[in-house]
């Protein structure tokens, strides 16, 4: 018995590990019997990935790849229809999860759907797909000759068909491009998705096209809307997104709705809205619930008649409220628009609350016809409360914040900075 213990102790010292782990390092790995490498190039029939599978190689035949309910798989140099070929008879995604699933991203991977209506990766309604790892994933909504003929998200729902479940990104570097009228991550045309959570060390670099958010909901066609659940960005995530025309970059697309939008912790978020769409908020004929920024760094812009954070131009867009309690925020409105609040000619004022917990906030309005924080030209100003001061303006005196105005730029910082 003493000899056995002596041998175990020596082995532990030699390996530099506890007695309850095997001798292993990156240069001399020990095979895990629970994992299996699957060379996609060898598949000639549909395949369901099981728990522990590692998908690698270039798929040579247009077969369907599914993931068993509850399975945790790895994509490691996996290329699935990466040349974006359209198979009209192949109505399925590049990877279809049959239930809850976890995908670890390793090395570099490229995936798209096989049909114009199907995304690169799909998880069904009522289930959750989690991404982790430190590799790269390029995901694309499919379509010939560019996005105008493509009607699917990169990661999300099926066009006017199956709704997707919850999407969680905790790691990996994601490059995603949506099809026409679809969010890059989230809901597609007249379809829905669940909650979208981005955290950990995930990096998201994505864009959407006509009438859809980059992260959130796509385009609806009344009375069939496109809707997504809550959008939460936190951890040390890095998110850089550009929305489609008439839509928020993060939030709701045209004729779309989204739930609560929350940004916090050490997240780094850059959201660019175009053609009157806000960087964060609600697009044309759309709504979002409360927007809350608790920390991190947030830069939100609109290039034309829309706020950096808030609603779309005119009278067809609403957000419940905007609350900022922490972080470094730079918000820039387009022509005649505020940096934060309701767009020009929008009669639905948004209550805005900003507390002294911020690190700094810079509000760049589009012109002197707009508030810095409040409303755009000829719009309705909601209540604006800053550092406990109601109906706050740049001329207000704040107990804990320092206020500096320079032309169309208003900066708020703690007095002790």
List per-residue pLDDT tens for the chain, 417 residues long.
333 333 333 333 333 333 223 333 333 333 566 689 999 999 999 999 999 999 999 999 999 999 999 999 999 999 999 987 777 678 899 999 999 999 999 999 999 999 888 999 999 999 999 999 999 999 987 655 444 456 789 999 987 678 999 999 999 999 998 878 889 999 998 999 999 999 999 999 998 877 899 999 998 887 788 999 999 999 999 999 999 889 999 999 999 999 999 999 999 999 999 988 999 999 999 999 999 999 999 999 998 899 999 999 877 799 999 999 999 999 999 999 999 999 999 999 999 999 999 999 999 999 999 999 999 999 989 999 999 999 999 999 999 999 999 999 999 999 987
- DSSP letter assigned to residue 87: -
Beta strands 340-342 and 309-310, pairing class: parallel
pTM higher than the cut 0.85: yes
H/E element, 10: helix 2-15
d(CA 66, CA 68) in angstroms, rounded, equals 7
Q: In what order do the strands lie in the sheet with 373-375?
A: 47-49, 65-67, 95-97, 121-122, 155-156, 185-186, 215-216, 250-252, 280-282, 309-310, 340-342, 373-375
- Annotated domain spans of the chain: 69-414
Phi then psi for residue 385, to 5 deg, are -120, 120
């Amino acid at each position: 018995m003493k000899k056995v213990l002596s041998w175990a102790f020596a082995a532990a010292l030699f390996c530099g590990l506890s007695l309850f782990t095997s001798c292993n390092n990156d240069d001399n790995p020990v095979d895990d019997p629970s994992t299996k490498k699957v060379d996609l190039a060898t598949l000639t029939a549909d395949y369901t990935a099981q728990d522990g599978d590692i998908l690698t190689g270039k798929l040579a035949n247009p077969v369907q790849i599914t993931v068993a309910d509850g399975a945790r798989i790895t994509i490691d140099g996996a290329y699935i229809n990466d040349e974006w070929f359209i198979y009209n008879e192949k109505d399925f995604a590049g990877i279809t999860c049959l239930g809850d699933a976890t995908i670890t991203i390793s090395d570099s991977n490229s995936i798209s759907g096989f049909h114009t209506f199907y995304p690169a990766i799909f998880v069904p309604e009522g289930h959750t797909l989690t991404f982790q790892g430190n590799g790269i994933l390029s995901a694309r909504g499919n379509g010939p000759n560019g996005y105008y003929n493509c009607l699917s998200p990169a990661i999300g729902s099926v066009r006017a068909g199956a709704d997707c479940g919850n999407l969680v990104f905790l790691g990996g570097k994601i490059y995603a491009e949506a099809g026409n009228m679809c969010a890059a991550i989230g809901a597609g045309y007249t379809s829905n998705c669940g909650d979208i959570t981005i955290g950990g060390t995930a990096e998201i670099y994505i864009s959407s096209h006509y009438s859809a958010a980059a992260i959130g909901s796509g385009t609806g066609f009344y009375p069939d809307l496109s809707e997504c659940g809550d959008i939460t960005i936190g951890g040390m995530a890095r998110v850089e997104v550009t929305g489609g025309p008439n839509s928020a970059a993060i939030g709701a697309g045209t004729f779309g709705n989204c739930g609560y939008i929350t940004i916090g912790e050490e997240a780094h978020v850059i959201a660019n809205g175009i053609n009157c769409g806000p960087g964060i908020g609600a697009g044309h004929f759309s709504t979002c619930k409360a927007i809350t920024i608790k920390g991190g760094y947030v830069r939100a812009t609109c290039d034309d008649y829309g706020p950096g954070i808030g609603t779309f131009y005119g009278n067809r867009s609403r957000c419940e409220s905007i609350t900022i309690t922490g972080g470094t925020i730079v918000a820039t409105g387009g022509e005649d628009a505020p940096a934060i609040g309701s767009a020009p000619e929008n009669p639905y004022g948004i209550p805005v609350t900003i507390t002294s917990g911020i690190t700094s906030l810079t509000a760049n309005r589009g012109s002197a016809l707009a508030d810095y924080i409040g409303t755009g030209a000829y719009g309705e100003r909601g209540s604006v409360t800053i550092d406990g001061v109601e109906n706050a303006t740049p001329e207000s005196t704040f107990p804990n914040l320092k206020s500096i105005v320079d032309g169309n730029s208003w900066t708020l910082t703690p007095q002790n900075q």
